[in-house]
Amino acid sequence: MTPHDPRSEGQPTEADATAGGPPPGADAGEDIEALLRKAETEAAELKDAWLRARAESENTRRQSQQDLARATKFAIEKFAADLLPVKDALEQALAAPNLTVETLRSGTELTLKNLQAAFSRANVQEIDPAGDKFDPHRHQAVQMVDSDQPANTVVSVYQKGYVLNDRVLRPAMVAVAKGSDGS
């Protein structure tokens, strides 16, 4: 062990000079200028990368908005194309020279099948709740009637309802049983 010399405290040693400080005799001003140039170059590169990333995100945002606008504008295109044969069938039926009740009925049935097929492809489903329990989210009660059926049971359907992907397009208009006790 070497004795501690209080006179050497705070003074650089030879080991300190070789540990990463400027070499003896080097110009400290040149080192600071080199570090400053390096920092300025790095800052310019980072700013350029940030501006590029910002521009890319703005382009992506703008493209997403355009895609959404196109999707909204043309969302019904497939369904409209599926309805064209229905319109054609109706026009052909009206243009037929010798209409009889039978031909009109068969044409109407064919047109209804085309319409049902278009609804099916678009996932539009009927709500026909006859005999079901009244559901205010899917049915619209227009009348309460005396009935042997339990209270709040749909007795008759005046107009079918429709749902699109489990979302009600139009509730079914129904008559609902009052119940045997009149409640």
The residue extents of the domains of the chain are 32-75, 77-121, 123-183
What was the pLDDT predicted at 92? 85
What was the pLDDT predicted at 183? 46
Residue type for position 92? Q
Residue type for position 10? G
Q: What is the pLDDT along the chain (183 residues), one digit of tens a residue?
A: 455 555 555 555 554 544 555 555 457 778 999 999 999 999 999 999 999 999 999 999 999 999 998 888 888 888 899 999 999 888 888 888 888 888 888 888 989 999 999 999 999 999 989 999 999 999 999 999 998 889 999 999 999 999 999 899 999 999 999 876 544
What was the pLDDT predicted at 106? 85
Q: Does residue 156 contact residue 132 with C-beta atoms inside 8 Å?
A: no
What was the pLDDT predicted at 93? 82
What was the pLDDT predicted at 175? 95
Q: Which residues contact 28 (CB under 8 A, 6 or more apart)?
A: 22
What was the pLDDT predicted at 4? 55
* Beta strands at 161-164 and 167-170: parallel, antiparallel or unpaired: antiparallel
What was the pLDDT predicted at 182? 45
Rounded-to-integer distance, Cα 87 and Cα 81, Å: 10
Residue 125: strand pairing partners: 163
Query: How many helices and strands in the chain, by DSSP H and E?
Result: 4, 6
What was the pLDDT predicted at 103? 84
Closest CA to 81 of 114, 126, 125: 114
The third-level CATH classification (topology) of the domain covering 123-183 is Nucleotide Exchange Factor Grpe; Chain A, domain 2 (2.30.22)
Give the count of beta carbons closer than 10 Å to the beta carbon of residue 159.
12
Phi/psi at 105 (5° precision): -65, -45
